[in-house]
């Protein structure tokens, strides 16, 4: 999904603006998807393939067996966690583009608790310990941007984006030198893995954890004083401050919560999938989560649906290529088209894409 990262990064600043009315908001995502698939059909026809067949292998076939669902879950879990993570920041009118770096530090936390000698000593308990440390490291990495935001009024977009590159270099150094195990630049294997939900599938507890936290996210944002103040700050900074909301504290907390969930995504990705720390373990999930949050309209059900759709695109692209000859890179085209049509729908519907000033 980093193929569309530049498009997302350039326009994500307006995600926290006011949403459209209920009906329009509900129709925006399916309309954007339908329009993108229609335009995508032109590309499919251009290579001599059948659009209906291509979309079947991409979006339907991955749902037809437990084994295939396991492959989908490898994309769905991190996309969902990063999606709800960055949504906390977006509610406060902050843009967290650092999901990748926070995921990498979450993966590092899981690795430090899961490999010898610590992992061998803790056994199964290295799993909860690694998840906890991953959450802490992800939150800590995001807190850097939160601190600079309220202390120096620095742009969190630039800081979180640049921290991704720093995180990549740190992880690269660690897997090439102090944590390297064997000929390949990767760590030793973790002592414990997330329990599977189905023996013959890669489905594991990570899916349940992600879904449970999506419910928690919805409750926090819609049913608590913290969520109300967060949304008030995102709606109008002046009004929120006048009403007694400590903006600096909430800016910081929003970034910490966002980083904690991204860190959890990294910890679960390591313990449920790769089992080793290596370069690129965060994949494209950092920017993919931003797309998921945008397509889901920051609503828990919308985010879950968008994460599933994006996971199907990624998991089904390989089967589509084998069966129809359409390259997997077509998914990048489709993702970019969806984002483009969503933004177009926002513009036509009256949503402003740029951030308002402090006086909003």
Q: Are 316 and 329 in contact (CB under 8 A)?
A: no
Query: Residue 354 carries which DSSP code?
Result: S
CATH topology of domain 50-325: ABC transporter involved in vitamin B12 uptake, BtuC (1.10.3470)
- 30's tokens: 């399916």
The predicted structure's pLDDT at residue 26: 61
Work out the average pLDDT over 254-277: 97
Q: Are 68 and 62 in contact (CB under 8 A)?
A: yes
10 pLDDT above the threshold of 70 = no
251 pLDDT above the threshold of 50 = yes
Work out the average pLDDT over 344-357: 59
- 43's tokens: 């590309």
What pLDDT, in 10s, does the model give residues 129-178? 999 999 999 999 999 999 999 899 999 999 999 999 999 999 999 999 99
Query: Residue 19 carries which DSSP code?
Result: P
Q: Rounded to an integer, what distance in angstroms lies between the CA atom of residue 26 and that of residue 189?
A: 44
Task: Classify residue 327 as left (phi > 0), alpha (psi -120 to 50) or beta.
Answer: beta
Task: Strands of 303-355 (E only): list them.
Answer: none
Q: Are 194 and 272 in contact (CB under 8 A)?
A: yes
Q: Rounded to an integer, what distance in angstroms lies between the CA atom of residue 235 and that of residue 303?
A: 20
- Phi, psi (degrees; rounded to nearest 5) at 186: -155, 160
What mean pLDDT is reported for the chain? 89
Other residues' Cβ atoms within 10 Å of the Cβ of residue 325: 11
The string of DSSP letters for 253-292 reads HHHHHHHHHHHHHHHHHIIIII-S-BTTTTTTHHHHHHHH
The predicted structure's pLDDT at residue 193: 96
What pLDDT, in 10s, does the model give residues 43-57? 999 989 999 999 999
Strand-pair partners of 278? 186
Helix (H, G, I), strand (E, B) or coil at 158: helix
Max alpha carbon distance in the chain (Å)?
A: 61
């Amino acid at each position: 999904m980093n193929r569309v990262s530049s498009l997302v990064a350039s326009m994500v600043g307006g995600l926290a603006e006011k949403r459209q009315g209920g009906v329009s908001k509900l129709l925006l995502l399916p309309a954007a998807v339908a329009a993108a698939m229609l335009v995508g059909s032109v590309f499919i026809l251009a290579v001599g393939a059948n659009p209906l067949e291509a979309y079947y292998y991409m979006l339907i076939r991955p749902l037809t067996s437990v084994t295939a669902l396991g492959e989908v879950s490898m994309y769905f879990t991190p996309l969902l966690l990063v999606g709800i993570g960055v949504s906390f920041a977006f509610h406060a009118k902050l843009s967290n583009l650092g999901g990748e770096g926070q995921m990498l530090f979450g993966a590092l936390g899981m690795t430090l608790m899961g490999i010898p000698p610590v992992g061998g000593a803790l056994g199964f308990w290295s799993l909860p310990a690694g998840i906890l440390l991953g959450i802490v490291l992800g939150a800590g990495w995001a807190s850097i941007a939160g601190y600079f935001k309220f202390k120096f009024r620095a742009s969190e977009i630039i800081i979180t984006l640049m921290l991704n590159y720093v995180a990549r270099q740190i992880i690269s150094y660690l897997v090439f030198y102090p944590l390297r195990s064997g000929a390949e630049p990767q760590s030793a294997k973790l002592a414990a893995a997330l329990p599977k939900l189905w023996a013959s599938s890669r489905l594991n507890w990570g899916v349940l954890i992600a879904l449970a936290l999506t419910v928690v996210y919805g409750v926090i944002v819609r049913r608590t004083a913290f969520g109300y103040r967060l949304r008030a700050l995102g709606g109008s900074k002046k009004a929120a401050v006048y009403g007694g909301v400590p903006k600096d504290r909430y800016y910081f907390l929003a970034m910490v919560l966002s980083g904690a969930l991204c860190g959890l995504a990294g910890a679960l990705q390591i313990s449920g999938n790769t089992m080793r720390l290596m370069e690129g373990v965060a994949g494209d999930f950092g920017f993919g989560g931003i797309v998921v949050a945008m397509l889901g309209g920051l609503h828990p059900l919308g985010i879950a649906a968008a994460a599933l759709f994006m996971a199907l695109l990624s998991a089904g692209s390989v089967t589509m290529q084998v069966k129809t000859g359409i390259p997997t890179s077509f998914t990048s085209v489709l993702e970019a088209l969806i984002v483009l049509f969503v933004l177009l729908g926002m513009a036509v519907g009256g949503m402003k894409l740029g951030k308002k000033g402090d006086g909003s």
